[in-house]
Structure 1
Amino acid sequence: MASKISLPDSRTLSYVLDETPKGGPIVLLSNSLCAPFGAWDHFVKMLNSNGFRTLRYDQVGHGQSSSPPELNTTFDSMAADVYALLQALNISSLHGWVGVSMGAAKGVCFVSKYPKIVRKLVICDTISASPVNLGGADVFGPRVVAAREVGHLEDAIQSTLDRWFGKAWLEENPKEADRVRNVMRGTTLDGFEACCHALRSSSFDLRPILKDVGSSVEDALCVVGEKDANLPQTMDEMREEIEAGFRASGKDNIIRLEVIKNAGHVCFIDGLEQFSEIVVRWLTKH
Structure 2
Amino acid sequence: MSTPARAGDIAFLTHGNSDATPVVLAHSILSSGAMWSSQASLLVEHGFFVVCIDARGHGASGATPAPYSMDGLADDTVSVLDTLKIERAHYVGLSLGGMSGVGLGLRHADRLLSLCLCDMRADTPAAAAAPWDERIAIAQAARSCAPLAEPTLERWFGRAFLEANASTASLLRNVASTTSVDGFAGCARAIQAMDYLAVVDRVETPTSLIVGARDGTLPDAMRALAQRIRGAVFEVIEDAGHLPNVERPDAFNAALLRHLERTVA
Q: TM-score, normalised by structure 2?
A: 0.94
- Report the AA paired with residue 85 of structure 1: V
| CA deviation profile, 1:182-231 (whole Å, cap 9, x unmatched) | 23234111111111110112xx11212211112xx2x1101000100011
Go from structure 1 to structure 2 and tell me whether the alpha carbon gap of 1:137 and 1:84 turns closer, same or farther (over 3 Å shift). Answer: closer
Q: Alignment partner of 2:240: what SS?
A: coil
Q: 1:15 aligns with which of 12, 32, 36?
A: 12
Cα contact 2:122–2:200 (8 A) shared by 1: no
1:232, distance to aligned residue in structure 2 (A): 1.0
Cα contact 2:144–2:178 (8 A) shared by 1: no
Cα contact 2:148–2:177 (8 A) shared by 1: no
Q: 1:181 aligns with which of 173, 182, 185?
A: 173
Identical counterparts, % of pairs: 27
Q: Which residue in 2 is equivalent to 1:246? A: none
Max Rg structure: 1
Q: How many corresponding residue pairs?
A: 261
Q: 1:163 aligns with which of 151, 155, 158?
A: 155
Go from structure 1 to structure 2 and tell me whether the alpha carbon gap of 1:122 and 1:137 turns closer, same or farther (over 3 Å shift). Answer: closer
Cα contact 1:36–1:186 (8 A) shared by 2: no
Q: Which residue in 2 is equivalent to 1:247? A: none
Alignment of 1:272 with 2:242, yes or no, is no
Q: Which residue in 2 is equivalent to 1:74? A: 69
Go from structure 1 to structure 2 and tell me whether the alpha carbon gap of 1:47 and 1:268 turns closer, same or farther (over 3 Å shift). Answer: same
Considering only aligned residues, what root-mean-square deviation do their CA atoms show, in Å? 1.5
Distance, in Å, in 1 between the alignment partners of 2:35 and 2:138 is 24
Alignment of 1:60 with 2:56, yes or no, is yes
| 37-46 vs 79-88, greater mean Cα deviation | 79-88
Q: Which residue in 2 is equivalent to 1:109? A: 103
Q: Alignment partner of 1:29: what SS?
A: strand
Go from structure 1 to structure 2 and tell me whether the alpha carbon gap of 1:119 and 1:62 turns closer, same or farther (over 3 Å shift). Answer: same
Q: TM-score, normalised by structure 1?
A: 0.87
Q: Alignment partner of 2:130: what SS?
A: coil
Q: Which residue in 2 is equivalent to 1:221? A: 208
| CA deviation profile, 1:151-186 (whole Å, cap 9, x unmatched) | 221220111000000011111111211122223234
User: Which has a greater percent of helix?
Assistant: 2
Distance, in Å, in 1 between the alignment partners of 2:129 and 2:82 is 38
- Report the AA paired with residue 27 of structure 1: V
Gaps of 5+ in 1: 7-11, 244-252
Q: 1:98 aligns with which of 81, 87, 92?
A: 92
Distance, in Å, in 2 between the alignment partners of 1:147 and 1:82 is 26
Gaps of 5+ in 2: none
Distance, in Å, in 1 between the alignment partners of 2:88 and 2:163 is 41
Alignment of 1:206 with 2:196, yes or no, is yes
Cα contact 1:100–1:126 (8 A) shared by 2: yes
Distance, in Å, in 2 between the alignment partners of 1:185 and 1:25 is 34
1:141, distance to aligned residue in structure 2 (A): 1.3
1:48, distance to aligned residue in structure 2 (A): 1.0
